[in-house]
Homo-oligomer: A and B are copies of this chain.
Amino acid sequence: MTYYQEHQSEFLESLKAFLRIPSISALTEHKPDIRRAAEFAKAQLLGAGMTSAELIEGEGNPLVYGEWLGAPGKPTVLFYGHYDVQPPDPLDEWKSAPFEPEIRGEDIFARGACDDKGQVMIQIKAVEGLMRGTGKLPVNVKFLLEGEEETGGEHIEAYVKSKPPRLKADAAIVCDTEMFAPNLPTICIGLRGLVYYEIAVEGANHDLHSGVYGGAAPNPVMAIAEILCALKDRNGHIQIPGFYDRVVPPAPKERDAWARLPFDEKEYTEKEMGARELVGEPNVPLFERVWARPTVEVHGIKGGFVGEGAKTVIPARALAKVSTRLVGDQRVDEAIEQFTAAVKAACPKGVTVEVRMLSAGAPSLTNPDNAFIQAAADAMKEVFDKETVYIRSGGSIPIVGVFDRYLGIPSVLMGFGLPDDNLHAPNEKFHLPNFYRGIEAVGKYLELLGR
């Protein structure tokens, strides 16, 4: 491990150089930066000892692929990460420039520091350390980095779907999640699925005067309210027929482990969320609500007059963005059918509703007894000197479902972010001790896998 400890400042310089490239996938004017970041990652892969590395072109931003296959008979792991970042706005809330990495205390501040350049760099430097130290790797290694994770681009999915032989592997290693608490090694074994919809309601073909027609005219905003209330009751319990049928409750062992996680509900509610109190299904513990229960959530709504003052209009149309999170054995196709049928059934008289599905990803759950998960837990335990905890995440990482479906491999979610790393927000940061220990942990993981 000496190599890792000796080269920390060099690793840091590589990370800084990566962070200085404003590879914002959402903004067209940063297309050249996207390419620079891809080229930078490719050069890093070659520098780390990959025998080959290249950009894979296609619809959208290039994928970066690299491989080292010098360990015949040993497992093959596929590292996944992304080199694109979120836009930095609101700019005026940043304490230092988002693309000029600045170290304050033990943290490095920059857009992408944690999500996901810092974690991609952990993967690369872990490999580099082993190569430099021993001239070879204990397992076969492949890298697949994408450049449109933040925009939901479909290049990587299209590529993986084509099942290219070069992606054959025994497990994927995804470093794009977080640790449950500082210094608490964490592996995420479950992700919720996500189906995202737009619900469009139309009433009359033009706005109507609420004095003249109020009492007889259909109101699309009210219709959306009625539809939303028909989908979920005031306790957060979903009313879509059949939606819970395939929901698998966590095993008692998992539930017990969650109950033992270090957790301050008041701090979580008030400081982290900035909320007054938690809501949701009564008698369902918090972690189960956010990790192991499906949701129906409205993300946005618009319709009618929302300017200053008063306008007595009955709007002609209204629109809402609504998603469902899926868990356990829920199936995407079935969930879409159930949701669409429930919306249509709840649509009141006088209006028409259209349900447009915008994206869909399946839930995933990996058995913690899987050998690749076990080795990861052992490696992290050794480096962090603490028992690794297994958690799930309420969010969705679509690539995990894609790897599962088309490559038939499990994903090991080894994350080194922290809950307060300000992902997608101003002053994104990465905790440097996690950066260095992450490199060691991933290196250790490959060693353990090679035994």
A321 contact from B290, B298, B304, B359, Cβ within 8 A = B304
State whether the Cβ of A232 lies closer than 8 Å to any Cβ in chain B. yes
State whether the Cβ of A142 lies closer than 8 Å to any Cβ in chain B. no
Chain B min CB distance to A114 (Å): 14
* Contact between chains at A321 and B311 (CB < 8 Å): yes
Q: Which residues of A, 275-330, contact B by the 8 Å Cβ criterion?
A: 275-281, 286, 289-290, 293, 295, 297-306, 309-316, 318-321, 323, 325
* Contact between chains at A315 and B299 (CB < 8 Å): yes
Query: Given A229-B226, A325-B214, A396-B211, A309–B358 Cβ distance below 8 Å?
Result: yes
* Contact between chains at B306 and A394 (CB < 8 Å): no
* Contact between chains at A302 and B302 (CB < 8 Å): yes
* Contact between chains at A323 and B215 (CB < 8 Å): no
* Contact between chains at A293 and B213 (CB < 8 Å): no
The residue on B at minimum CB distance from A349 is B279
Query: Given A211-B393, A299-B314, A279–B321 Cβ distance below 8 Å?
Result: no
Interface string of A347-384 (1 = CB under 8 A from B): 01111100000110000000000000000000000000
Segment of A105-113, A128-136, A216-224 in the binding face: A216-224
A295 contact from B210, B309, B348, B358, Cβ within 8 A = B210
Interface string of A152-180 (1 = CB under 8 A from B): 10000000000000000000000000000
* Contact between chains at A217 and B395 (CB < 8 Å): no
Chain B residues with CB under 8 Å of A217's CB are 273, 275, 278-279
Which one of A236, A289, A313 has the greatest number of beta carbons of chain B within 10 Å? A236
Count, chain A residues at interface, CB 8 A: 80
* Contact between chains at B216 and A152 (CB < 8 Å): no
* Contact between chains at A290 and B213 (CB < 8 Å): yes
* Contact between chains at B298 and A323 (CB < 8 Å): no
- The docked-state distance in angstroms from the alpha carbon of A209 to that of B177 is 14
* Contact between chains at B311 and A204 (CB < 8 Å): no
* Contact between chains at A301 and B218 (CB < 8 Å): no
- The docked-state distance in angstroms from the alpha carbon of A136 to that of B334 is 82
* Contact between chains at B273 and A196 (CB < 8 Å): no
Chain B residues with CB under 8 Å of A205's CB are 274-275
A214 contact from B209, B216, B290, B313, Cβ within 8 A = B290
* Contact between chains at B305 and A312 (CB < 8 Å): no
Which one of A204, A225, A278, A348 has the greatest number of beta carbons of chain B within 10 Å? A225
State whether the Cβ of A203 lies closer than 8 Å to any Cβ in chain B. yes
Which one of A216, A232, A281, A289 has the greatest number of beta carbons of chain B within 10 Å? A216
* Contact between chains at A393 and B212 (CB < 8 Å): yes
Chain B residues with CB under 8 Å of A316's CB are 274
A213 contact from B277, B298, B300, B394, Cβ within 8 A = B394
State whether the Cβ of A234 lies closer than 8 Å to any Cβ in chain B. yes
- The docked-state distance in angstroms from the alpha carbon of A113 to that of B358 is 47
Chain B residues with CB under 8 Å of A320's CB are 221
Chain B residues with CB under 8 Å of A310's CB are 152, 196, 299, 321, 323, 358-359
Q: Which residues of A, 247-291, contact B by the 8 Å Cβ criterion?
A: 273-281, 286, 289-290
* Contact between chains at A350 and B302 (CB < 8 Å): no
Query: Given A204-B275, A359-B310, A225–B229 Cβ distance below 8 Å?
Result: yes
* Contact between chains at A321 and B306 (CB < 8 Å): yes
Chain B residues with CB under 8 Å of A212's CB are 290, 393-395
- The docked-state distance in angstroms from the alpha carbon of A229 to that of B229 is 7
* Contact between chains at A232 and B228 (CB < 8 Å): no
State whether the Cβ of A194 lies closer than 8 Å to any Cβ in chain B. yes
Chain B min CB distance to A430 (Å): 18
| A to B CB contacts below 8 Å, 5 in the list | A205-B274, A214-B295, A217-B273, A219-B298, A300-B305
What are the 4 tightest A-B residue pairs by CB atom distance, in nearest-first order?
A: A211-B395, A300-B304, A205-B274, A215-B289
